Every structure is written in C-alpha cells, then in structure tokens.
Amino acid sequence: MKPLIFSLFAASALVLAGCGTTSAQPDVEAGPGELMRSSLERDLDPEVGETTLARLAADNRAFAFDLLHRIYEAGSGENSFYSPHSISLALAMAYAGATGDTREQLAEVLRFTLEEEELHRAFNALALDLDTRGEAEVDAGDPPTLRILNAAWGQEGYPFSNTFLDTLSGNYGSGVHAVDFINDPEGNRRRINRWVEEQTEGRIEDLLFEGSIDGRTRLVLTNAIYFLAGWQHAFDENATSDRPFTLTDGSQVEAPLMRQNEMFAFYQGEKTRAVVLPYVGGDLSFIALKPAVPEDFEAWIAGLDEERFMRVVEESTRRNGTVSLPKFELKADYDLKALFTSLGWTDYTQLDGMVEEGAPDDLEISEILHKSFIAVDEEGTEAAAATAVAIRLVAVQEEPVSMDFNRPFVYVIYDHPTDSILFLGTMMNPVE
C-alpha cells in the first residue's frame, strides 16, 4: 500500500453501452475505425435542480442497500466489498438503450424514479460535481483526487442508434472507438483489460474473463473511478496491535486493530452505533456502522437501509472519543446477474434503443460481473472495484435435432488427420 495516501477506484465495464462521467476523456487509441460519436458535445452546465440531484442520490443509496442484503445473503455472512456507484452508473448507460420489460425491470432494480431524460442529466450533473473534489483547499496534506474516466469500444460498422449515441455524448461525454470484435475478440478483450488495469493502478486485473468477449459482442464500455486521499487524522502505527475480534458466532480471532483518540462524529442510536472518519478535506469519509446489540447482527443488517443510514449521517455529533478499526485487505468478485435476478430483473433481451430502427440483430445481456479490492491501514484506504456487463447478439436458436439409429445403418471408424477409414461396417440387426 502506498504510504501517506489512499486510493479508491471503481471501474465498470459495460459490454455494449459506452459511457463516460468526466469532461476530461482519457487518451485511447481508436482501433481499426474512427471514433463513433454523436455530433453533440457534452453538456457541461446541465439544468438540474437540487431536488432532482437529491432524489437521484437517494435512489442510488436505496439500490446500494438492496444489493448489500443480497450479497450478504448469497455469501452466508462472508466479507464483502463492492462499488454501488460504479454499478449504478454502468447500468444507467444500459438503461439508455433498454426497452420494454428490460427497461422497466432495470429501473425497478436500480431504484430509478426520475424520468429518463432527467435521469441522464442528473447523472451528468452528479459527475461534474464529483469532478470538483480535487479542487478543494486543505489546511494540510494533499487534497483528494477523484477522477471518473471512461472509454468505449464498439464493433465497426454496427448500426448504433443516433439517439443512444446522443445520450452517451451529451450526458456522459463518451464516443465509441471502433474495433473488430468479430475477427479478434480475444485481442480486444485483452486491450480493454489493459486499459482498466492502468486506470485502477493494477488492482483490477482481467476484468473481462476469457470467453466473455466473442464474435457476437457489439460494444464494450469501461468506466473507472479513481480516488486518492489520506485520513484527516492518521492512525499511529505504534498504537496498532493484535487484539481479539469477535465473530457473529461468539468466537474470537486475533486481528491487527488500529486505535486512536480524536474528535470524530459519533452516532449512538437505539439499533446502531457508528463513527465517521473523514479523509483529508472533509468532503469524503469512511463510515463504520455496527449493531447496538452485537448478538443481533443478522436482524440488524437485514433492517439496515437508506433511511437508517441517512439518520446516521445527519444525526452524528462531534465529540472526543476512542476508535479502534481493523487493518485489513480483501478481494471479492460477484456474479451480479444472479443477484439482480433475485431482485426481480429477469428480462435481459430488450435493448432495441441501442440500435437503429429495423436493425436485424437482437441483443442480450449475458454477464454482469463485479470485482473489488480494498486495503485499510494507518494512513488511509486503497480500494478498487470493477463491473462488467456483457451484451452481445442473441444466438440463433435452431430446432433441436433428433436422430434415432433404430434401423439398419453403416458405421465407420475414421482417422481425420490422414482421411483413412480404419474400420467400416453395417448394422442390420443388433441382436442377431
């Protein structure tokens, strides 16, 4: 881990819809074709009211806790870590091209309540606001760095909808770099993975696994969030020592616990205890929450939602206190499509808004994958997350073949390399 700093990355790869969330686009080689993009420039001053932004943030938080419950249940209480912002943003791009039941179910799962045009403007305004975090003046240390980067690659010559490209360009600042998935899917998979790895300082490798990109892939989006900062109040390494950490079953393990006494914002509610640990500048924080009654963790996490979380944020009060926090590192990966299906999203095939009307090809979401990394130590936090949503052409469904050899037939034992018939026979009566 880098000393005196921490970095938080979230990278999302959407295999079909290209998007972006920052006005400064990374320098990406265009590939065999030119950049496919709308004639629209990104709207750098979207007309979005504070009420609309607050509603989008609340919707995103509600989705984050929905996913927390599903991930916790699926993992049987194992450690977990993911980036709901990365996932929401990547799937918002898919939403721009979704239709019918897919669009309806996607909006329900992501908790979108804004009208579509307003939704994309709000995501744009949110990203532009986040872009300013690194401009904050701080009394000591370096200000946080928060960059939202993106690049998209699409099949050259594919009839992407102008309306879809307008949405990507106007609200997300993204064009689509023309590549040839049909003839070189593996090469382009590796190329995209290299870009993601570079944006996440090497913490997220092989975002797209072998076979996730094939000749039916038509568009790939990668979106990376990079955040770099340090604790406003660093922990003293000399105060870190191995101490008991009690598990949910009551047993204990020895873990390195950091410890410090400082003025922090604490919350002591009927059901929840929490502390807000700020990073340099104070705009960004690490918020740790636990049940007031340790034995009730299962019931407590099941009831932890957007409303309870915001009560912690709004009602925490600054006071002097001692905080201990484990020093830890973990990696995780998730099959999000299975989790989304359990949340009620079952139709992944209606994506007509991504292509021009009358295009003969049907599209489907085949994979939604998420990888993550986090390390917390005395100086701060380093974290990375990546989301991959694979969308490709629907395979042509052929009628299944049924062939019964229940009448006389000829059979051959054949060597293909030499085109040699080694044995040949006829079967006239198998019981003769």
Residue 145 resides in a domain: yes
Q: Do both 46 and 163 map to the same domain?
A: yes
Same domain, yes or no, for 67 and 177?
yes
For the chain, give the percent of residues with pLDDT over 70.
81
How does the average pLDDT of the chain come out, rounded? 80
**Residues 337, 282 share a domain:** no
pTM for this structure? Answer: 0.84
Rounded Cα distance, 432 and 349, in Å:
53
Residue 369: CATH number of its domain: 3.30.497.10
Tell me which long-range contacts 25-28 makes (C-beta under 8 A, separation of at least 24): 25/149, 25/150, 25/151, 25/173, 25/174, 26/149, 26/150, 26/151, 26/195, 26/199, 28/151, 28/177, 28/195
Please count the structural domains in the chain.
2
Do residues 210 and 253 share a domain?
no
Does residue 351 have a pLDDT over 70?
Answer: yes
Give me the pLDDT at residue 365, please.
83
DSSP codes joined into one string, 382-396: EEEEEEEEEEEEPPP
Q: What is the model's pLDDT at position 206?
A: 92
Classify residue 79: in a domain, yes or no.
yes
211 and 191 together in one domain: yes
pLDDT score at 401: 56
Residues 193 and 222 grouped into a single domain? yes
Domain residues for 114? 6-230+328-393
Query: In this structure, are 152 and 301 located in the same domain?
Result: no
CB 196 within 8 A of CB 222: yes
pLDDT at 26 over 60: no
- Shared domain for 205 and 316, answered yes or no, is no
End-of-domain residue from the set 300, 326, 352:
326
DSSP letter at 112 equals -
Residue 369 to residue 147: CA distance in whole angstroms: 22
348/298 same-domain check: no
Mean pLDDT throughout 243-268? Answer: 90
Tell me what pLDDT residue 20 has.
36
> Domain for residue 429, yes or no?
no
> 371 and 11 in contact (C-beta within 8 Å)?
no
What's the CA gap between 283 and 133, in Å, rounded? 8
Average pLDDT score over residue span 56-71 = 91
Whether 204 and 254 share a structural domain: no
Kindly state whether residues 339 and 248 are assigned to the same domain. no
Out of 16-20, 44-48, 387-391, 392-396, least confident range: 16-20
Q: Span 32-59, mean pLDDT?
A: 84
Give the separation between CA 382 and CA 285, rounded to whole angstroms.
13
pLDDT above 50: residue 32: no
Confidence bin at 81 (pLDDT 50/70/90)? confident
* Residue percentage of the chain with pLDDT more than 90: 28
C-alpha pair distances (Å), 142 with each of 1, 4, 5, 231, 311: 17, 10, 9, 11, 30
Per-residue pLDDT tens digits for 37-49: 777 888 999 999 9
Task: Report the range of poorest mean pLDDT among 11-25, 99-113, 159-173, 380-394.
Answer: 11-25
Query: What is the Cα–Cα distance from 133 to 130, expressed in whole angstroms?
Result: 6
Residue 425 within a domain: no
Which run of H or E residues covers position 372?
A: strand 363-376
406 part of a folded domain: no
pLDDT at 52: 96
pLDDT reported for residue 391: 78
Does the residue 431 lie in any domain? no
Could you give the dihedral angle defined by the CA atoms of residues 60, 62, 68 and 73, in that order, rounded to the nearest 10 degrees? Answer: -140
pLDDT at position 217 over 90:
no
> Which SS3 state, helix, strand or coil, does residue 220 take?
strand
Q: Specify if 405 maps to a domain.
A: no
Q: In this predicted structure, what is the pLDDT of residue 3?
A: 35
More confident residue, 37 or 96: 96
Whether 132 has a pLDDT exceeding 80, the answer reads: yes
pLDDT value for 212: 92
Q: Which of 8-12, 61-65, 89-93 has the lowest mean pLDDT?
A: 8-12
> When comparing pLDDT for 331 and 236, which is higher?
236
**Do both 30 and 174 map to the same domain?**
yes
97 within domain boundaries: yes
Task: Examine the pLDDT at 420 and tell me if it is beyond 70.
Answer: no
Ranking 94-103, 273-282, 309-318 by mean pLDDT, the lowest is 273-282
Please report, for the domain that includes residue 247, its CATH number: 2.30.39.10
The pLDDT-based confidence of 394 (bands split at 50, 70, 90) is: confident
Confidence of residue 18 (pLDDT cuts 50, 70, 90): very low
